[in-house]
Amino acid sequence: MSFEVSKKAAARAAIGFVEDGMIVGLGTGSTSLFMVGLLAEKVAAGLNIQAVATSEAIAAEARRQGITLVAEYPNFQRVDLTLDGADEADGEGRLIKGGGGALLREKLVAMASTRLVIMIDESKRVQQFGENWPVPVEVVPFGWARLHKRIEDLGAQVQLRQKDGQPFHTDQGNYIFDCRFGPMEQPEKIHAALIQLTGVVETGLFLGLTNTLVTGCESGEAQMQHFYPAPPTYLTV
């Protein structure tokens, strides 16, 4: 099932948060593609915004559809609002992201944003965090096999992501490990254990960052859940 109706419903609801004059972060993924198309229609009708894209693919699509990127892109100072998707989200707004391979840029943009709005279809909502998706972990290619073993020692099933029979490369030229921990009671501890390993660049655990979770439904409607999180504790240690 493609959940195309759900994705479009989530994207349509999310762009309602965009206001004239904003700097808008553009997420990566199938739902974000719908969002970029809908946003481009508003720009064509007179909406004045600038954008920060979270991947080269989305940057190219934004330009193609007439959305202006900030003048110094890929450099940027701040983002007013980011609209992005997720591979998995729970009732606390915790996310697993990185299925599209853009987790590092997505997290950089999310953490620079005044407000992060996450768009998901019904299939991405879970009761137990981590029950469906592995955690993508971006790593440097140099010496990756040793790092692979060190992450396995943390209790994960680890697979080097492949594309066309070769290791997948992110926009930064890094590799991605897809790490299946299973349901996670304390994902903050897993993030902390991963990020301290030399060679790990970033994880796809987005914790305490979501302000609004928009879930699109196959009925064409969308449900919203709002969060006002304090700064994540694992970022202040």
Catalytic residues: 106
Which tokens go with 196?
């301290």
Burial of 25 (0-12, 13-18, 19+ CB in 10 A): buried
Q: Does residue 39 contact residue 24 with C-beta atoms inside 8 Å?
A: yes
Q: Does residue 36 contact residue 25 with C-beta atoms inside 8 Å?
A: no
Residues in CB range of 196: below 8 A, 6 or more apart: none
74: cis peptide before it, omega within 30°? Answer: yes
Residues in CB range of 38: below 8 A, 6 or more apart: 11, 12, 15
Which tokens go with 117?
């709005």
Q: Does residue 185 contact residue 90 with C-beta atoms inside 8 Å?
A: no
User: Which candidate, 223, 169, 232, places its Cα nearest to that of 195?
Assistant: 232
User: Which candidate, 217, 214, 8, 43, places its Cα nearest to that of 116?
Assistant: 214
